[in-house]
Structure 1
Amino acid sequence: MKKSKLLAAMLAVVMTGTLFFGCGKSKDTSETPKTDDKQTETPAEDPAPEVEQKIVYNLGADPKTIDPQLNSAVDGSTIIHNAFEGLMREDSTGQIVPAVAEKYDVSEDGTVYKFYLRKDAKWSDGKPVVAGDFEYAWKRALNPEVAAEYAYQLYYIKNGEAFYSKKDGVTIDDIGVKALDDSTLEVTLEAPCPYFLSLAAFPTYFPTRQDIIETNGDRWALSPETYIGNGPFKMSEWVAKESMTFVKNENYWDAANVKLETLQVKLIDDEVTYLSAFKAGEIDVIESPPQAEIPSLVAAGTAEIYPYLGTYFYVINLSDNGKNVDAKAAEFLANPKVREALTLAIDRTLIADKVAQGGQKPATSYVPEGVLDSAGKEFQKDYLPPTADIEQAKKLLEEAGYPNGEGAPTVTFTFNTGSGHQMIAQAIQDMWKKNLGIDIELKNEEWAVFQDTRTNFNYLIARHGWIGDYNDPMTFLDMWTTGNGQNNSGYSNPEYDELIAAAKVEIDDAKRTEMLHKAEDILMGDLPIIPIYFYTNVLCINPKVQGTYKSLLGQMEFRDAYVE
């Protein structure tokens, strides 16, 4: 598919509701026949049976957390988006529209926002949502003791980074967010940010209740009784490793337009199992069916492939903080020529077409296709060949001192449980052995354990993936700055850090784009990451389900969903 066509597709959020064609009686609108010059009455048709407004959706494994300020994964984001709501939200067309904020004002210089909250916005326990709930949540995310991985997403706020970094003299009161009254939130930024309204629709910016969190501590987000949200649904049950159940939040400000009464979220992480449950009618919506099944599911119309703003990649541990990491293997991977050799020895086209099989495209860069710069133009550019360059990979490995892999240590590759990840890992394991003579040991871990392993640098090479938090190159590039909470590589390059920092305050579109391109040039030269393919969404949806959609940014939305 050409870039222009892909871009057009990716600018529209994926609407997953499909038309349902059924057989039924057609209603005759012609004149009724007469007998004895008297019109006979047509018997009234029986009313259609009422359909239970319940959807069963499979999320996968239990999310690590569903705390808006602590979550950093797509699965947790889906739960949070349906149980909470920010000042703004992404609608079914992909537009950012007012949510809890009824309206907003922006200063001429673009640095001061005033959000005016809806008077009828309430929490699921009936208490009003006030501006102070947002002020508390944002300052909570910026509290270094909370250790929010996404704290950096609030560095756009004046003194946000200074407070998080414990800069001398900067207190929590200096952070540029203030509730002027219960209905007015004033936000002062460090510099104009073209995507700040998109950030206001991001989970880390969602409100949370100070009284609930201070009373219950970290356990507040583990129980239906204390998981108090302000979104269209509220939790009624959570059976660990089995399911979460949500019901319509009658206190939601727009509850009159929420048709769904029950949203049951299954927590099945085995692809074969949840596909079988879907085929049996036990689950209405699944994502990522088994890779080997995708071609036949698509051909049968059971599954559809949609665009997705993200990159599937491997991350390399360049940190000195890891524990239980083989020192010889770590030294081997610290050599930039080794990392480039590993990158060039992969046939991305084969992985996308023959292993993943979901319409993915080979990742020839880190920032994926469909990402737009601040002028609205396609940002992506190619750095890698779509197929393997074995000759160059061997040359680089020899220059690094390991001709044909001689003397190279065995390297452990860690991935989270899932047949899809395993099949890709096995294919790349084979390529690295065949093309470079390097032995790879595969290690799989449960999702929650794996996330801790990667965050704590207890790995050598690990599976990773990143879905944009908003449509701008910055969401893919600023995570690799030194010390960033999402920098699971431990990568550090001062020049890279300077370019990202400068781009964040640059108001000239062309200069900003140039800085971000230079930053990616450095990243793709240093290669702390190995891009594999650009994501797609593969979804199977019961035809009776309407109005649900999967955002290009990852989360499934059920606010407008219903059963036909």
Structure 2
Amino acid sequence: MTKGREKKFHEQGGTFVKIKGFNKSVIVFTSIVLLAGTALVGCAKKSETGADGAAAEQKFRMLIASEPPSLDPGLAQDNNSSTVLRPIYDALTRMDEKGEVKPGAAEKWDVSEDGLKYTFHLRKDAKWSNGDPVKASDFEFAWKRVLDPGMTPPAPYAYQLYYIKNAEEYNTKKITDASQIGVKAKDDFTLEVELKSPTPYFLSLVAFYTYIPLNEKAVKANPKFASEAATMVTNGPFLLKEWKHNDSLTLVKNDQYHSAKDVKLTEVNMKIMNDPGTMLNMYNTNQIDWAGRPTNEFPVDQLPMLKKDPKINLQIKGIASTYYYEFNTKAEPFDNASIRKAFAMSIDRKAIVEKITQGDQQPAYGLVPQGIRGESKTFREEVKDDYFKEDIAEAKKLLEQGMKEKGYSKLPAVTLIYNKSEAHKKIAEAVVDMWRQNLGIDVKLEVQEFGVYIKNRQNGNFQIARAGWGADYNDPMTYIDLMMTGGGNNNSKYSNADYDKLIKDAYGTSDQAKRMKAMAQAEKIMINDMPIMPIYYYTGIWAQKDYVKNVFVDYKGDVNFIYGSIEKK
């Protein structure tokens, strides 16, 4: 992610499309008109009834690509998990399709003039699924749990809370008193948050799942609360009714949700499946209502035909996410920057997006994608990603230089890992072939199941790994601080003091011009060191039945069905 979601998104990726009229600098958003009012029992609107006049069954069927590795909001970091977490929990705020902040568990908030203190006023009618009121202390408990240095395993997104006063100091054991962290429940419905420096995007940030509240009583009673549907106490518009591991998840409407009257779907079925051909067959035979984004992909070779088929109802838009490979900077031979640069400069990104992915993806030479806000325009419009260029002759020189620096007469064996996916496989095969032809290097490919792949990346058990990152919030920082020393999602184990300082400089000011300049300089340093190899900026594709209304894919590629409905004629 946020992400993101690979949170988040981040780990599945691989939907490839062609966007008519896609502006290379601005992501185009589909306008969504929310339904007004609620149908009365026995008096359903005509548009929500079937041919016989009976109300349409409000069940929405979709797919997720793999078993969620964790439904613990403090441990989740992938898109499959976030797809389930977002509808079953309610954070302080929510984001709409354009990345604008909307009220969530907090009905309103106050911000001090200096931008350092946020006071959130919680809804007094919000309840947990066990009937308990949702209290400010539930947020304080959940956030401090993420920051607890003794949390096992450690929360990968703990650094996303470092904006809070003394959060980093507590998480890194510089202080031991959790009461010094700048989050306090002033009373049952007032949460006060003190930041270490002004953070213009903080209201967007608290919508991210690491900031989700937890029912303290339920968590303390069962540390494995997130492993089964029956033990999860949640506060969102939907409840997790059933979790058949490695098969499916079933969500049902939460009648105790504070805005339950606006939620029309009574059930959401998520089948776990990651086979493009099977997905398309299920869609064509009406076994599912939605296919593709955010976690599945369409068969790449069938896209031209699918775009022309009106029965498929293909939907296409740009999404703010980046596809890249990450190098393990602590593993040979990629502990050498010259060798990393040689690999990155010797592939043809244009050929990959035109001949392999075939979806008008943009070749990437930076980490921040299109569509993320900058100072006055988008960040990518204001800061060009011209940090390096593809140059085979120069790549060969860098490889030779790196081998000399390492004392190699021959490059050690190299393996590239990726999670199971038709698209990831085709991209990996193309890249490996380019390395063979352009550098004379044979790289082994290894496909891994999603859960195994995630753990290997987290634990540093790789040399090169496929990766992707989608926005956790609408600001360049959601990408720029990804590679900070010791960061929970810094799988490359990259470290550069100058890069870290620039990020802290950006954290420490609310001056947008200064922030953007510091982040641009940080991105340049990081890309020059090449702990990651950018490949392309994503586009997204999905298909939805024409009777599916008000379900949308947001600016970063997540699906939102909270206020959706089924309207069969």
Task: Give the TM-score taking structure 1 as reference length.
Answer: 0.89
Structure number with higher relative contact order (C-alpha < 8 Å, ≥ 6 residues apart): 2
Contact 2:70–2:81 (8 Å) recurs in 1: yes
d(CA) in 1 for partners of 2:398, 2:208: 42
Distance 1:371 1:190 in 2: 24
The answer to whether structure 1 residue 112 and structure 2 residue 117 are counterparts is yes
Could you tell me the TM-score, scaled by structure 2's length?
0.88
Q: Is the 8 A contact 1:194 1:374 kept in 2?
A: no
Contact kept, 8 Å, 1:125 with 1:251, in 2: the verdict is no
Cα displacement string for residues 253-285 of structure 1 (whole angstroms, at most 9, x for unaligned residues): 000110001100111012222222112111111
SS in structure 2 at match of 1:225 = helix
Change (3 A) 1:17 1:278: farther
* Aligned equivalent of 2:221: 215
Letter in 1 for 2:317: Y
Once residues 542 and 512 of structure 1 are traced to their aligned partners in structure 2, the CA distance between those partners, rounded to angstroms, is: 43
Is the partner of 1:333 in helix, strand or coil?
coil
**Matches for 1:118-197 after TM superposition, within 5 Å:** 118-146=123-151, 147-168=154-175, 170-197=176-203
Distance 1:143 1:530 in 2: 33
Deviations 1:175-208 (CA, angstroms, capped at 9, x unpaired):
1011111111111000110000001111111111
Distance 2:449 2:150 in 1: 27
CA pair 8-481 structure 1, distance change in 2 beyond 3 A: closer
* Residue matched to 1:326: none
Specify which of 250, 253, 258 is matched with residue 253 of structure 1: 258
How many angstroms does 1:452 deviate by? 0.2
Q: Larger Rg: 1 or 2?
A: 1
Deviation at 1:307, TM superposition (A): 1.1
Q: Secondary structure at the match of 2:191?
A: strand
Q: Does 1:300 align with 2:309?
A: yes
Amino acid at match of 2:120: F
Measured in 1, the distance between the counterparts of 2:564 and 2:521 equals 43
Aligned partners of 1:419 and 1:365: how far apart in 2?
Answer: 25
Gaps of 5+ in 1: 19-44, 320-329
How far residue 15 of structure 1 moved from its aligned partner, in angstroms, is: 4.8
**Residue type of the partner of 2:395?**
A
Give the secondary-structure state (helix, strand or coil) at the position aligned to 1:82.
helix
* Deviation for aligned residue 1:94: 3.1
Percent identity, please.
41
Deviation, 1:114, is 0.6
Shift of 1:427: 0.5
Partner residue of 1:317 out of 328, 331, 354: 328
What amino acid maps onto 2:112 in structure 1?
A: S
CA separation of 1:2 and 1:153: change in aligned 2, threshold 3 A: farther
Q: Distance in 1 between matches of 2:398 and 2:524?
A: 19
Amino acid at match of 2:284: K
1:506 paired to 2:524 = no
Structure 2 segments unaligned to the other structure (5+ residues): 1-18, 36-49
Q: What's 2:41 paired with?
A: none
Alignment CA distance shift 1:308-1:4 (3 Å)? closer
Q: Structure 2 CA distance, aligned partners of 1:139 and 1:332?
A: 39
* 1:17 to 1:340, Cα distance in 2 relative to 1, 3 A: farther
Q: In structure 2, what is the equivalent of residue 427 of structure 1?
A: 430
RMSD of aligned alpha carbons: 2.3
- 1:449 aligns with one of 448, 452, 456: 452
The verdict on how the C-alpha distance between 1:345 and 1:16 changes in structure 2, with shifts beyond 3 A counting, is farther
How far does residue 295 in structure 1 lie from its aligned partner after superposition?
Answer: 2.4
Q: 1:383, CA displacement in angstroms?
A: 2.6
- Which residue, out of 80, 87, 92, partners 1:87? 92
Q: How far 1:340 sits from its partner (Å)?
A: 1.1
**What is the distance in 1 between the residues matched to 2:454 and 2:286?**
32
User: Which digits, 9 at most, give the CA deviation of each residue in 1:370-403, with x for residues without a partner?
Assistant: 12224454344223677x4222222322333489
Contact 2:329 2:336 in 1 (8 A): no
3-state SS of 2:124 partner:
coil
Distance in 2 of aligned mates of 1:409 and 1:163: 41
Q: Counterparts of 1:92 and 1:344 in 2: how far apart (Å)? A: 36
Rounded to whole Å, the distance in 1 between the matches of 2:161 and 2:277 is: 40
Q: 2:10: which partner in 1?
A: none
